[in-house]
Chain A
């Protein structure tokens, strides 16, 4: 294939603005799939993605398209659409020369439209503006095009008006991809370099690397080297996604496909690494992706301690498919052996948890998520901690710094008041407001990540009747008046329940937390005191009353089977809890810490 006829592009959009539907239409129009084959949203292969209506993992598909008598190879690289997945969007966009920025004609620009547009610009991609859902009665394509021009600087007359659902305008868009997006640079004479922008683990074939070739050619049976790790392998299979996997003999400069090289050790493939020829290696690796930054941390413990090795194996596997997820062994007095995991955000965390349970059938107990902190010690050194339990002794601490983010919220002007009130309660500082149109406004805040990371998004959705959208980006660690609160259950401090909070919030937060705990810890045969302490001083107390009476029903011959079933189930329920001293604490209790309960 002539490099001039290759187009590598991505579709970026706010969630539900029609990215996956557009991808499906393109696959049909190019004959990659027939309409009948078209499962809805074919690019989203994981169950969880389907259910949540979002794309988690980037994937790629190769299409052939005739335009003005020439056959083009179109490589569509799908990107995730959620606030937590900046990193994955950036990886996918680096492998592209162009991006289609899709905006819903009924909703206009949303926070993630902006965030994605910034990433695409940063990656150097050419952006085409696309107004989708123009067939809907509520569509206001001209108004939305004006927003696009005002906010993103793409001329409104250059925007494509389409309906991905009906197919209207999609062919014109494909033509534009051929005409307006640049081809890859021709570096076919240079040593081979291919970027791994995604990977997947297959039980039979090992690691499947998703690659974009930037220079030279990769061939089957070639001896390749991963430049970051130095490991070498022999390519056993190369291919393209059409959208099913089809082997080819070689992948040339500018092409996108997969590489299988009998890579069994999960740890050897790093997303962002460069594949080169082992005998004639390129002098430098491709400029790496931005490393992902884990901002949210949570401990995962196996529900049953004997499952620790299985949990480790499951994390190894998950980490292969998700370069933005980290895990390190952790040992807690209360919860035994487990892992401290780092995530990009809360949604990312939930997805990992679900995949863990769904794909591996492992029960896990998960602690409340926390953010990372920087601690300036009296001796002048700075320490990064990922959990309140890692906080050094108070006497050694000069200051505690917490992560701040640039937070952008786009909402309707009649809901600004409610959102501002919430933001203020969460210690957010308003930096600027910008009207996108007479009725829609963008607010920019400086916000402590810890305050927005959990339920903030849900709350602004509620306040704005679903209209507001938000996105955030880490800016810096800054000192604040923060303290650690400890929770004592039956007199014993439970580290997994400790929190770092702003001093002004310590007492109310602590009190709310133990009230939640009181409700989520089942009553025991004895009374359980719950206490909140700052540095050994008790600031609040609640009590769980003793459990007093079972239904001591009769138990004769005919009742045995049923009764044993009931008792076994009751025991199973207990097993899902964790023992702290003689108190059984259910998983929800460890999560209740999150709920700031406005």
Chain B
């Protein structure tokens, strides 16, 4: 793991780390990181989605995948422990190109225990899924979002309830033993019964993993505009909370245990790739708008966060001419890294593992965050044991309000 030694010998590497970063940010030889491949391409834009994406029919898929692979080649020397192709919708690429991408990613990460591809349930068939399985993909995450037809229509997902069920079935038939669904609750107009129906349908599919998010109105989206004009109204806060609490309770009964604020899994099927984010371990993101986080092996060097430019043309022009993808590099100070680690860790149901935190940041979480920890402990929002600091059950619905007190040091 990239976590690191804290001894004086490593500190002396500080200068050289920075220098290395200047010409090639990812030349660390032995780092074990997550690999994320971003495909910001969609067949159509969903009305609620605030992420950058471009229409699939405007993208030369061969050229785009070539570009991704060129960028991937630049990261030689890094060994990946997980791989994840996400989007956008990776499945909006022609099947051949997606499979070619998956094959190459697998080649580059032979020891990755988990290799996920995000799929739109309306964009897969038995053939594609079999080829992905063949290419070494071992986990699928379906953007199901809802099992209520009215909601799918409103969200403009471009797939039906039946297609979700068919996609999961096809995944099983292709041999996938690790399948997850993304779901969205608190969709405008939705009732608790609607959400309960979606959860029942998900549970009935016997999947291994659920990510459940409450809908947020993002700037620049159709939803946000519609809310502005009164065409949509946000779901009442109490209902939102009731939906969330029902999610935790119902999925738990189905054997899908909450392991992060929005994530639930059968024991052993927690998403390893995402666990890397919440542990604040290093990861490499390739593709337009993808983010990397490189710790260079020791916290003494601080953390570098590199965010690729979103523009596909500029991205391709750069990588095709053998240059690095245009990106913004942000050096995260040690203090900020401490805060990020705390915020990310606290999203996990297990919270901050004090020993892990100490190893990663060189600081004692209890000391660094003494004030908010004590305050929230008194309010029953945080519990502390010898080994961990974590949010209590009642803190989960208002996690942001609690976490913001860990977002900066005074």
Which residue numbers of A lie inside 8 Å of B, CB to CB? 525-526, 547-558, 560-561, 563-564, 566-568, 570-572, 574, 582
B400 touches A557 (CB 8 A): no
Looking at the complex, which of B24-32, B60-68, B194-202, B284-292 is the stretch in contact with chain A?
Answer: B284-292
Give chain B residues whose Cβ lies under 8 Å from the Cβ of A550: 397-401
* Complex contact B397–A548 (CB within 8 A): yes
A58 vs chain B, min Cβ distance (A): 43
Known contacts A548-B398, A557-B285, A567-B407: A525-B293 contact under CB 8 Å: no
* B92 CB within 8 Å of chain A: no
Complex: how many Å from CA A563 to CA B406?
A: 12
CB distance from A558 to the nearest CB of B (A): 4
Q: Is B237 an interface residue (CB 8 A)?
A: yes
Query: Does B213 sit at the interface, judged by CB under 8 A?
Result: yes
- Judge whether B307 is part of the interface by a CB distance below 8 angstroms: yes
A572 to B237, CA, bound (A): 24
Question: Can you list 27 A-B contacts (CB < 8 A)?
Answer: A525-B395, A525-B402, A548-B237, A548-B241, A549-B240, A549-B241, A550-B400, A551-B216, A552-B214, A552-B262, A552-B400, A553-B216, A557-B283, A557-B291, A558-B38, A560-B291, A560-B305, A560-B344, A561-B330, A563-B343, A564-B407, A567-B404, A568-B407, A570-B400, A570-B401, A572-B408, A582-B375
Q: Shortest 3 CB-CB distances between A and B: which pairs?
A: A567-B407, A570-B404, A550-B400
Asked if B396 and A571 make an inter-chain contact with CB atoms under 8 angstroms apart, the answer reads no
Which residues, 352 to 405 on B, are CB-close (under 8 Å) to A? Answer: 375, 378-379, 381, 394-405
Interface on chain B toward A: helix, strand, loop, or mixed SS? helix
A24 to B370, CA, bound (A): 61
Chain B residues whose C-beta falls within 8 Å of the C-beta of A554 in the assembled complex: 211, 213, 262
Q: Is the CB of B397 within 8 A of A582?
A: no
Selected contact of A525 from candidates B283, B347, B398, B408, CB within 8 Å: B398
Chain A residue with Cβ nearest B51: A558
Using known A-B contacts A551-B214, A555-B347, A568-B408, determine if residue A561 contacts B307 with beta carbons closer than 8 Å.
Answer: yes
**Distance in angstroms between the alpha carbons of A401 and B312 in the assembled complex:** 75
Task: Flag B210-248 by CB within 8 Å of A: 1 or 0 each.
Answer: 010110100000000000000000000110110010000
- Does B165 count as interface, using CB distance less than 8 angstroms? no
Establish whether residues A560 and B277, one from each chain, have CB atoms under 8 Å apart when the complex forms.
yes
Would you give the shortest CB distance from A304 to chain B, in whole angstroms?
8
A560 touching B340 by the CB < 8 A rule? yes
User: Bound state CA distance, A554 and B400, in angstroms?
Assistant: 11
Q: Are A547 and B401 in contact (CB under 8 A)?
A: yes
Which chain B residues lie closer than 8 Å to A560 at the CB level?
277, 291, 293, 305, 340, 344
B330's nearest neighbour on chain A, judged by CB, is: A561
User: B21 interface residue, CB < 8 Å from A?
Assistant: no
- Bound-complex Cα distance A525 to B393 (A): 13
Selected from B277, B347, B404, the residue in CB contact (under 8 A) with A557 is B277
Tell me the smallest distance from the CB of B270 to a CB of chain A, in Å.
Answer: 14
Residues of A within 8 A of B404 (CB): 567-568, 570-571, 574
Could you tell me the distance between the alpha carbons of A525 and B274 in the complex, rounded to whole angstroms?
A: 29
Q: Is the CB of A557 within 8 A of B293?
A: yes
Q: Are A556 and B398 in contact (CB under 8 A)?
A: no
Bound Cα distance A568, B402 (Å)? 12
Question: In B264-322, which residues have CB < 8 Å from any A CB?
Answer: 274, 277-278, 283, 285, 289-293, 305, 307
When C-beta atoms are compared, the residue in chain A nearest to B238 turns out to be A548
Q: Is B103 an interface residue (CB 8 A)?
A: no
Which B residues are CB-close (under 8 A) to A574?
404-405
Contact A558 B405 (CB under 8 A): no
B124 to chain A, nearest CB (A): 22
Q: What's the nearest-Cβ distance from chain A to residue B71, in Å?
A: 15
Q: How far is the CA of A547 from the CA of B394 in the complex (A)?
A: 12
Instruction: Report the separation of the CA atoms of residues A558 and B51 in the bound assembly, to the nearest whole angstrom.
Output: 10
| A571→B404 CA distance, assembly (Å) | 5
Q: In the complex, are the beta carbons of B262 and A525 less than 8 A apart?
A: no
Nearest residue (CB) in B for A556 is B277
Complex contact B401–A556 (CB within 8 A): no
Chain B residues with CB under 8 Å of A557's CB are 34, 36, 277, 283, 285, 291-293
List 5 additional A-B contacts (Cβ < 8 Å) besides A549-B397, A570-B400: A552-B397, A553-B262, A560-B277, A570-B404, A582-B378
B42 shortest CB reach to chain A, Å = 16
Query: Is B375 a contact partner of A564 (Cβ separation < 8 A)?
Result: no
The complex places the Cα of A158 from the Cα of B394 at a distance, in Å, of 80
Q: Which residues of A contact B398 (CB under 8 A)?
A: 525, 547-550
A557 to B343, CA, bound (A): 13
Q: Across the interface, do B244 and A552 meet the contact criterion of CB distance under 8 Å?
A: yes
